[in-house]
């Protein structure tokens, strides 16, 4: 195993670029947000990466579709047999990366406590209620809620609910701002 090269701690001594430089439109940003601004940012964004912890402690990353519920929890549809579901059930500390439609859109990491509800078992009513909220958060009203609920039961679905405990700033990637003239 070889060591990775270290980065300079600052950009001191580097030539600064003009704000007219074409790269200036790709300056990295970080915007701290409160819970309301977080909800506004997450609204309409359903492409997520869920990070759970495997039995050996290493991360399990899963591409998922998700929605933020009215109470601020994040909801992710799954099945009991999926690794993400088993991991979240065993170790509830999870992280969710919420991305925009494009790769370089703004994103935010949300850490939280996961709860898994199953449509089969003692959690059926709570799980189905959460599935209704999940569907609404992504697609609005369903033409037949009874049919939808039955489909979730027939498929033996699980829903992972994440209560946010902290989140990072809403960020965009790009060049460090200090690389450019003020």
- Residue-level length of the chain: 182
pLDDT in tens, 64-112: 999 999 999 999 999 999 999 999 999 999 999 999 888 889 999 999 9
> pTM of the prediction?
0.88
Q: What is the pLDDT of residue 93?
A: 98
Q: Which domains does the chain have, with CATH numbers?
A: 32-168 (2.30.110.10)
pLDDT over 70 at 31, yes or no = yes
What is the C-alpha to C-alpha distance for residues 28 and 77, in angstroms, rounded to an integer? 32
Which residue, among 134, 137, 93, has the nearest Cα to 114 in the 3D structure? 93
Identify the pLDDT of residue 12: 64
pLDDT in tens, 34-57: 999 999 999 999 999 999 999 999
Which tokens is 113 given? 């406590």
Compute the distance between CA of residue 155 and CA of residue 138 in angstroms, rounded to an integer.
19
Is 5 a residue whose pLDDT tops 70?
no
CA distance 80 to 124: 13
Q: What is the pLDDT of residue 91?
A: 97
Tell me the pLDDT band of 121, cut-offs 50, 70 and 90: confident
Q: Tens of pLDDT along 151-182?
A: 999 999 999 999 999 999 999 988 988 888 87
Answer for the pair 134, 67: CB distance below 8 angstroms, yes or no.
yes
- Distance of alpha carbon 41 from alpha carbon 98, whole angstroms: 9
């Amino acid at each position: 195993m070889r060591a990775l090269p270290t980065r300079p701690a600052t950009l001191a001594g580097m030539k600064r670029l003009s704000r007219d430089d074409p790269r200036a439109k790709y300056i990295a940003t970080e915007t701290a947000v409160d819970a309301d601004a977080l909800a506004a940012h997450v609204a309409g964004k359903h492409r997520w990466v869920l990070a759970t912890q495997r039995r050996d402690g290493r991360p399990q990353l899963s591409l998922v579709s998700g929605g933020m519920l009215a109470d601020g929890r994040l909801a992710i549809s799954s099945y009991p047999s999926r690794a993400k579901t088993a991991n979240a059930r065993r170790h509830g500390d999870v992280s969710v990366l919420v991305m925009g439609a494009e790769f370089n859109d703004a994103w935010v990491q949300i850490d939280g406590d996961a709860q898994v509800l199953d449509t089969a078992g003692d959690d059926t009513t709570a799980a189905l209620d959460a599935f209704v909220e999940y569907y609404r958060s992504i697609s609005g009203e369903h033409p037949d809620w009874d049919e939808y609920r039955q489909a979730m039961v027939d498929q033996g679905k699980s829903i992972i609910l994440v209560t946010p405990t902290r989140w990072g700033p809403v960020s965009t990637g790009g060049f460090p701002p200090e690389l450019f003239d003020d």
